[in-house]
C-alpha cells in the first residue's frame, strides 16, 4: 500500500501548507454589518487549531452589489484591521488563511445589495425571487476592477490565498452558463465570449496579488441541470483558468438557482430552511414549492471524484478536490489519484478538529449529511445540529426522518 501523503507539506503557488487539507468555503453567516466578528474568528481559529492546512473564509462579496446575505462579508478598506486580527489568529495556530471572493449577481435582493440585483442578462430570477438588471459594459469593467481591489485588501489583511468563486451559479458562472447568459455583445454567444468576464476578473485578481499570495478559483465541472454547462465546456473553462496562471483549481459543480443540491448532495431540510426565515411570504412560498424548486440529489462519499479524474487527466496545475470527503481512507484515495489537496466543508462544520482526529487514528467524521447547517445558514448562521440542544421538536423530527431515509 502506498504511504499516505495527507500529513506532508505541499506548495500552492508562493505558499506552503503544512498538510494537504483545506477547509472549503462554507458560508458562515457570522458577519454582522458585513464585517468580521468574534464568532467568525472563534470558528476559524478552532479549525486552524484542529490541524487544517489552510482555512477559507467563505463567500466575501467584492462590492456592495455582490452581497446576497445580510450577514455576509463585504470587502472594503475599513474592515482591514478586523480581517488582520482574523488572519493573525489563524496563523498563530499554524494554518494558512484563504478568503473566497465573489459576486452573487442575480442571487440577491435590493435590500441587501443596495441596488436591483445585476446579472449577465436581466429578467426575473424566480429563485431569489427578484427582477434583475442587465449589466452594461462599463458596469462589467467596474466589477472586474472590484475583484482586483478585493484582492489588494486581502493582501493587506494578511491572507495567504484568495479563492475566486467562478462556479455555483454566481456572477462569473452566470456569464459562463448559456442558461443565464443571453447577451448579444462580446460577453455572450460563444463560450469564448462567455469566458470574457471570467478572464477579466481573474486577470485583475492575479495582477493585484502580484505573486505575493496564492490565487485559486472554484469552478464547475457541470452546472448540474439540463440546459446548463456540461463537462466538455467546463474542461475548456478549466484549461482557460490554467492558462491565465492560477496557482490551483477547486473542482465543484451545481447552480444555486437551478440545482443547489448538486453542490452538496442530499436533500434540503425544508422545515429547517423555512423555520428560520423571517419574510412571511417567502416562508410560505418555500414551504409550498421548496421540495420542487430544490430537488434532492443522493449523497455518496467522494461524489465528484469520477468527474474530477477527467479534469486531472487534462490539466497540469495543482487540483483541489472537494465533495464528500468524510473518511481518512477516502481522502487518501483522492490524494493517491493525483490531487494535490482536499477541501472539506461539512466534516469541519461538524468537527472543526477532524484533521487532528484523523492524525490520531479517526477514520470517519461524525457528519450525517442531513444538511441542517445549510438550511440554517441562509437565515442565521452555520451550525451543526449536533452542537445544539435547544432545537424545536419539528426540526428534530425532520433530522430524524432524513436520517431514516438515509439509513442512519
Ligand X SMILES: Cc1cc2nc3c(=O)[nH]c(=O)nc-3n(C[C@H](O)[C@H](O)[C@H](O)COP(=O)(O)O)c2cc1C
Residues that bind ligand X (CB under 6 A): 24-27, 58-59, 100, 165, 168, 218, 252, 263-264, 322-325, 344-347, 373-374, 377, 382
How far is the C-alpha of 352 from the C-alpha of 47, rounded, in Å? 5
Q: How far is CA 95 from the centre of its chain?
A: 19
Q: Which of 170, 262, 321, 378 is catalytic?
A: 170
Joined together, the cell numbers standing for residue 118 give: 445585476
Q: Which residue number, 144 or 261, has a Cβ lying nearer to ligand X?
A: 261
* Closer to ligand X by Cβ: residue 59 or 197: 59
| Chain-centre distance for alpha carbon 233 | 21
Reduced to 3 states (helix: H, G, I; strand: E, B; else coil), residue 92 is helix
Preceding amide of 129 cis, omega within 30:
yes
Q: Please, which residue, 32 or 301, has the CB nearer to ligand X?
A: 301
Nearest distance from C-beta of residue 133 to ligand X, angstroms: 23
Q: Residue 127 catalytic?
A: no
Q: Is the Cβ of residue 148 or residue 323 nearer to ligand X in the bound state?
A: 323
Tell me the sheet residues that pair with 96.
54
Report the nearest approach of ligand X to the CB of residue 37 (Å): 16
Round to whole Å and give the CA distance between 312 and 221: 11
185 close to 133: Cβ distance less than 8 angstroms: no
- Three cell numbers, residue 94: 499554524
Beta carbon of residue 278, minimum distance to ligand X (angstroms, whole number)? 19
Alpha-carbon distance 311 to 319, whole Å? 9
Please give the residue whose beta carbon sits closest to ligand X in the complex.
Answer: 345
Radius of gyration from C-alpha coordinates of the chain: 20
Minimal distance in Å, beta carbon 256 to ligand X? 10
Q: Whole-number minimum distance, CB 217 to ligand X, in Å?
A: 10
Do 59 and 25 touch, CB atoms closer than 8 A?
yes
User: Closest approach of Cβ 362 to ligand X, in Å?
Assistant: 16
Handedness of CA 63, 279, 403, 257 (dihedral sign): negative
Beta bridge partners of 23: 55, 344
d(CA 318, CA 215): 12
Indicate the residue among 135 and 297 with the shorter CB distance to ligand X: 297
Residues forming a β-bridge with 165: 218
Closer to ligand X by Cβ: residue 183 or 384 = 384
Q: How are beta strands 15-17 and 10-12 bridged, if at all?
A: antiparallel
CB 108 within 8 A of CB 127: no
> Minimal distance in Å, beta carbon 400 to ligand X?
20
Nearer to ligand X, 237 or 377 (CB): 377
Active site residues: 170
Amino acid at each position: 500500500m502506498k504511504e499516505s501523503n495527507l500529513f506532508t507539506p505541499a506548495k500552492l503557488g508562493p505558499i506552503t501548507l503544512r498538510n494537504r487539507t483545506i477547509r472549503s468555503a462554507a458560508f458562515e453567516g457570522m458577519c454582522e454589518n458585513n464585517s468580521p466578528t468574534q464568532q467568525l474568528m472563534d470558528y476559524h481559529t478552532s479549525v486552524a487549531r484542529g490541524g487544517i492546512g489552510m482555512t477559507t473564509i467563505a463567500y466575501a462579496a467584492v462590492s456592495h452589489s455582490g452581497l446576497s446575505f445580510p450577514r455576509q462579508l463585504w470587502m472594503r478598506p475599513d474592515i482591514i484591521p478586523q480581517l488582520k486580527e482574523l488572519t493573525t489568529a489563524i496563523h498563530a495556530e499554524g494554518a494558512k488563511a484563504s478568503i473566497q471572493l465573489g459576486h452573487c449577481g442575480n442571487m440577491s435582493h435590493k435590500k441587501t445589495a443596495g441596488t436591483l440585483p445585476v446579472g449577465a442578462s436581466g429578467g426575473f430570477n424566480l429563485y431569489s425571487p427578484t427582477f434583475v438588471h442587465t449589466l452594461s459594459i462599463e458596469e462589467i469593467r467596474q466589477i472586474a476592477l472590484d475583484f482586483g481591489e478585493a484582492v489588494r485588501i486581502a493582501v493587506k489583511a494578511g491572507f495567504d490565498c484568495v479563492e475566486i468563486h467562478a462556479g455555483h451559479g454566481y456572477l462569473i458562472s452566470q456569464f459562463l452558463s448559456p442558461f443565464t447568459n443571453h447577451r448579444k455583445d462580446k460577453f455572450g454567444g460563444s463560450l469564448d465570449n462567455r469566458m470574457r468576464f471570467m478572464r477579466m476578473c481573474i486577470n485583475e485578481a492575479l495582477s493585484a496579488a502580484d505573486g505575493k499570495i496564492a490565487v485559486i478559483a472554484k469552478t464547475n465541472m457541470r452546472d448540474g441541470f439540463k440546459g446548463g454547462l456540461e463537462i466538455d465546456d467546463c474542461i475548456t473553462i478549466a484549461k482557460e483558468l490554467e492558462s491565465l496562471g492560477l496557482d490551483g483549481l477547486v473542482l465543484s459543480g451545481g447552480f444555486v438557482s437551478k440545482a443547489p443540491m448538486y453542490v452538496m448532495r442530499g436533500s434540503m431540510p425544508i422545515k429547517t430552511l423555512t423555520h428560520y426565515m423571517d419574510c412571511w411570504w417567502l416562508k410560505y412560498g418555500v414551504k409550498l414549492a421548496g421540495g420542487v424548486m430544490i430537488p434532492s440529489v443522493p449523497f455518496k462519499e467522494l461524489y465528484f471524484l469520477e468527474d474530477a479524474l477527467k479534469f486531472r487527466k487534462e490539466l497540469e496545475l495543482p487540483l483541489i478536490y472537494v465533495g464528500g470527503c468524510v473518511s481518512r481512507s477516502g481522502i487518501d484515495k483522492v490524494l493517491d489519484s493525483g490531487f494535490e489537496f482536499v477541501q472539506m466543508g461539512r466534516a469541519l462544520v461538524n468537527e472543526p478538529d477532524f484533521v487532528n482526529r484523523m492524525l490520531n487514528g479517526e477514520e470517519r467524521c461524525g457528519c450525517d449529511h442531513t444538511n441542517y447547517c445549510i438550511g440554517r445558514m441562509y437565515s442565521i448562521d452555520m451550525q451543526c445540529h449536533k452542537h445544539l440542544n435547544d432545537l424545536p421538536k419539528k426540526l428534530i423530527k425532520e433530522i430524524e426522518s432524513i436520517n431514516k431515509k438515509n439509513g442512519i
